[in-house]
Structure 1
């Protein structure tokens, strides 16, 4: 079984209409969703010492996700303010990362040795980890970074050279523009793939020079919070796990059935895109990114 690490941001999503906050954040969501799928998952990030930070920390521990290497700083945990419009989450404000932004993580030698144990390390543009990407590249087996819809060309060029997989959210873009951007990101140095989520239009994935399209599993959503994160998590964990298993099986058994690794990769990608669409749709039936709501006061 593979092991994965969510590295960077955690927040609470404060739903201003119901006055309920839910744990979330791109890097933490990755660890939680991997855990839901049955993958051994850990999280490394910074918690604030307020009620929000305590709620996220306690929830993460209760889910069985390892948090042994996390930091705890005095100040506000990251939060985002959210409303729902017909089940679609809409962000209306934030404290821009809270303690994670005020005290960006600096990876120690102990952290890097720990990171080297994982098959996937996933981070994001909300994690304030950009200055550490060079270090991360030297120790991470497979590095994934989600840029959401917060990027410039210069930012992508600076980051993509250090990562294996880049993800972007681009539901408002036309497909031909998305495809060109994905090609550019590969040219910027992204080692293996780019994932583009397009909301109700599904996803596009570029692996090398090959593009794949996955339609969504359409449902009546309770809350679309985490839809893209869950899709990316399910696809990446399935892809890396299946590729590792297939290559190892061939080496150990001498099996000649897998005669062409590219054909095998193609099947793995298609199967896991389908699984990811189904998993993402299920996530949209719960409140918040993965539930565990708690009332808050302003």
Structure 2
């Protein structure tokens, strides 16, 4: 299945050392490694940091035709590694991603695919809102992350349920109310919801 991920591409900053990052880029990388036909629509800044994710895409043969280079900073996630080895996310800087808008050419390209994947967090809300207005005929997948950016409010997920077919969300066992609400939503609206409990 031809798949496209519309989302974030950037760098992870470990105490000043930069590595390729972004949920969309990570998924595209591993999907490509597994043999899935996947494309990426995103943006990067016109800074030195942009060369890091671009080089990864070129190395694995992922097309960069729809990874736009815009004036400004490449999206950056700052990460601290704790003594236990656990990663702590200490700041996200969306850079050019905060104002990124899909062009008609981007939308036409998206329509050439059978599966559309995206994600939601506050800094990508403009892109998310534009994307969910597209009447994409194929399978639509949304990663709602850990739900913190909409305060675990089931009504936020319901608001977009007319659009998505498959949703992912990472919760913990203490989120019993939201888990029950999601199971009910999936049953009543014939949706598929994948809940991971590693949060």
TM value normalised by structure 2: 0.84
- The equivalent residue for 2:51 is 54
Are 2:117 and 2:142, in contact at CA under 8 Å, matched by a contact in 1? yes
* CA deviation profile, 1:74-107 (whole Å, cap 9, x unmatched): 1111111111232322101121x11010x22234
Q: Alignment partner of 2:63: what SS?
A: coil
Q: Alignment partner of 1:31: what SS?
A: helix
Instruction: Please report how far the alpha carbon of residue 168 of structure 1 lies from its aligned counterpart in structure 2 after TM superposition.
Output: 1.1
Query: Aligned equivalents of 2:32 and 2:188: distance in 1?
Result: 32
Query: Aligned equivalents of 2:59 and 2:184: distance in 1?
Result: 41
Instruction: Please report how far the alpha carbon of residue 118 of structure 1 lies from its aligned counterpart in structure 2 after TM superposition.
Output: 1.7
Count of residues in Structure 1 that have an aligned counterpart in Structure 2 = 191
Which consecutive residues of structure 1, in runs of 5 or more, have no partner in the other structure? 201-298
- The equivalent residue for 1:10 is 9
Give the number of the structure whose residues are more often helix, by fraction. 1
- The equivalent residue for 2:171 is 170
Which consecutive residues of structure 2, in runs of 5 or more, have no partner in the other structure? none
- The equivalent residue for 1:20 is 17
Are 1:26 and 1:123, in contact at CA under 8 Å, matched by a contact in 2? no
Are 1:113 and 1:139, in contact at CA under 8 Å, matched by a contact in 2? no
Query: Aligned equivalents of 2:188 and 2:163: distance in 1?
Result: 10
Q: Alignment partner of 2:133: what SS?
A: helix
Q: Alignment partner of 2:150: what SS?
A: coil
| RMSD between superposed Cα atoms in Å | 2.3
Report matched runs for 1:1-298 at 5 Å.
2-16=1-15, 19-85=16-82, 86-95=84-93, 97-101=94-98, 103-108=99-104, 110-126=105-121, 127-128=124-125, 129-136=127-134, 138-149=135-146, 150-152=149-151, 153=153, 154-171=155-172, 173-174=173-174, 176-186=176-186, 192-199=191-198
Query: Aligned equivalents of 2:115 and 2:78: distance in 1?
Result: 29
* CA deviation profile, 1:272-294 (whole Å, cap 9, x unmatched): xxxxxxxxxxxxxxxxxxxxxxx
Give the number of the structure whose residues are more often strand, by fraction. 2
Q: Alignment partner of 2:195: what SS?
A: strand
Query: Aligned equivalents of 1:188 and 1:26: distance in 2?
Result: 30
Query: Aligned equivalents of 1:105 and 1:94: distance in 2?
Result: 19
Instruction: Please report how far the alpha carbon of residue 175 of structure 1 lies from its aligned counterpart in structure 2 after TM superposition.
Output: 6.2
Query: Aligned equivalents of 2:54 and 2:23: distance in 1?
Result: 15
TM value normalised by structure 1: 0.58
Shift in CA distance, 14/140, structure 1 to aligned 2, threshold 3 Å: farther
Q: Alignment partner of 1:105: what SS?
A: coil
